Structure 1
C-alpha cells in the first residue's frame, strides 16, 4: 500500500473514532436515581413543608427524626426510585430526541433548548405521573395523623391500592399541574444546563471538565427552583389529597390564597432549592461521568 493510501486509511479511521455512538437512553434515569437517593431526606422535607402545617425546614427534619428516627428521613424511597426510573429516564431520552427535532445543536440558542426541554417535559410529566403520586404520598404519609395515613408498604403496593380503591382514573390525579411543572423543570433545568455549559466553554477559563459541569449545574439548579416553585407547591398539595373532589386545581388555589396569600406559591423555596441544587449538581456530574465511563468501555477515549 502506498504512503498516500495509508494516510487516507488512517484518516478514515481517525474520523470514525471521532464520531461517537449515541449514549444509552437510560443513562439519565440512572444518574437521576443515584442523585435522588442521596438527597431524598431534603426532598422528603420539602414535600412535608408544602403539604402539611410545618413551618421551617430544620423543625420539619427534627420532627421526622423524633417521630420515626433517622430511618424516617428515607420514608418513601421506593417511590423516589420508581419516579426517577420512569419520569427522569423518559425526560432525558425525550430531551435528546427533541433537540434533534428542533435542530438544537452544540451551540444552539436558548430558545431552541427551552423548546426541546418543554417538549420532553410534557411527555415525561404524563408518563411519570402515577409514580409521582406514589412518591408524594409515601413521603407525606407520616406527616399526617395516624388515622389519616394511607400506610402503603412500598411503591408497588401503593400503585395497586390506588387502582383498586380509587379507580384507574386516580393515576391521572394532578396530571395537569404535574405536566406543567415538568415542562417548566425541563425547560429551565436541562436547557439552562446545556446553555450555561456552552457559554462557559466559549470563555478561556473553562474546559469540558468537572469544574464547568459543576458551575453550569449550580446555575441551572437555581433557575429551575425559582421557575418551578408555584407548580411544585400545587402539585404536592393536589396529589397529597385523597378525598373525593379534593383534586381540583382551582379549589386548591382558592383555598391557599384565602388562608396564606399569594406567597404560598413559594412556600418551601429554601428546602426546594436546598434539595434541587445538590440534586441538579449530582445528576449532571453523575451523568457526565457515566458518559465518560461509557466512552472508556467503548474505547472512545
Structure 2
C-alpha cells in the first residue's frame, strides 16, 4: 500500500478536518436544527431552505458558522485527539487493533469530547435557530464568544452545560459510529484485496460510518437540540423533555433524520477525506515503519 499507508495522524488533525468539513455542510446543519426544534406542522428540507433564503438571504444559511467552527475545534479536536493518541499508544506501529478495543477507545474519546464541546454546541444551536424567531425574541449573539460570554453573564455558568448529559451520550454514539466503524470498514475493504488506501476506499468507509452514526444518534440529537434551545425553566427535567417530544409519536425522536443524514453523511465523508490527506502529507511515520 506504500509508505503513505504507514503514516499516523497527529492529534489535532481530526479537529482541523472537522472544521473544514463544517464550512461546507453548515447550511445543512442549520436546516436540521430548524426541523428538530419545530413542534407543530411539517416542512421539507427544500421548503425550509427556500423560505430562509427568500426572507433573509443566502447568507442566513450560514448563521452561527463561528459557533459551528468553535464547536468542531473543541468537540472534534478532543474526541479525535484522544482516540488517535490512545490507538497509537495501544498500537505504536499503526497495526490494526481489535474492533472491541476501537469501540472502547471511541466511547471514552466521545464522552470527553461531548462534555467539553457542550458550551460551543449550545451556542451553535441557538445561533442557528435565532433566524426563525420573531425579531423581538432573538438572542442576537454577534459571534460564538459573544454568545458564550452572554450566557455566562445572563444565565450562569451551569447554563453553559445545559444538555450536557444528552450531548455526551450522543457524542459517545457518534464517535463509535464514525471513528470505530470507519476504521473497521476501511480495514475490511483493504483486506478484501479489491481496494487500496485511496479516495474510493476513504469515501466508501466514511459514507458507511456516517449512515451508522446518524441512525445511532438521532433520538439523542433531537433531545439535545431541544434542551439547548429551551428557555430557562421551560422543561422541568430530562424526562419532561422526553415525554413532551414523545407526544409527537416515536417518529418525533427522529425529526430531521433526512437532513441529519444529508448533513452528517457529507460531513463525515469530507472529514475523513481531509483527515486522510493530512495524514498522508503531514502525518507521523512510526519508528518501526520503513522511512
Q: Could you say whether these structures have the same fold, taking a TM-score greater than 0.5 normalized by the shorter chain as the test?
A: yes
1:143 deviates by 1.4
Kept after mapping to 1: 8 A contact 2:151/2:157 = yes
Quote the Cα distance in structure 1 between the aligned partners of 2:5 and 2:102.
Answer: 22
Match of 1:72 in 2: 60
- What is the alpha-carbon distance in structure 1 between the residues aligned to residue 8 and residue 31 of structure 2? 37
| Distance in 2 between residues matched to 1:280 and 1:96, nearest whole Å | 17
Return the TM-score normalized by structure 1. Answer: 0.88
Using the alignment, how far apart are the partners of 1:108 and 1:295 within structure 2?
19
What is the alpha-carbon distance in structure 1 between the residues aligned to residue 5 and residue 51 of structure 2? 53
Q: CA RMSD in A?
A: 2.4
Superposed displacement of residue 263, structure 1: 1.2
Give structure 2 stretches of 5+ with no counterpart.
none
Q: Structure 2 CA distance, aligned partners of 1:91 and 1:210?
A: 23
1:59 aligns with 2:47: yes
Query: Cα distance 1:101–1:253, how it changes in 2: closer, same or farther (>3 A)?
Result: farther
The total of aligned residue pairs comes to 283
Cα deviation, 1:85-109, whole Å, max 9, x if unaligned, reads 1001111001113335666963333
Give the secondary-structure state (helix, strand or coil) at the position aligned to 1:82. Answer: helix
Higher relative contact order (CA closer than 8 Å, sequence separation 6+): 2
Q: Which residue of 2 aligns with 1:276?
A: 264
Equivalence for 2:138: 149
The 5 Å alignment of 1:42-57 reads 42-52=28-38, 53=40, 55-57=43-45
Which residue in 1 is equivalent to 2:221?
A: 232
Is 2:5–2:197's contact at 8 Å kept on the other side of the alignment? no
**Could you say which residue in structure 2 is the equivalent of 1:40?**
26
1:211 CA displacement: 1.0
User: Residues 22, 190 of structure 1: CA spacing in aligned structure 2 closer, same or farther, 3 A cutoff?
Assistant: closer
Report runs of 4+ in structure 1 exceeding 4 Å deviation.
Answer: 17-22, 100-105
Q: Is the 8 A contact 1:95 1:120 kept in 2?
A: yes
Higher helix share: 1
Residue of 173, 178, 188 corresponding to 1:189: 178
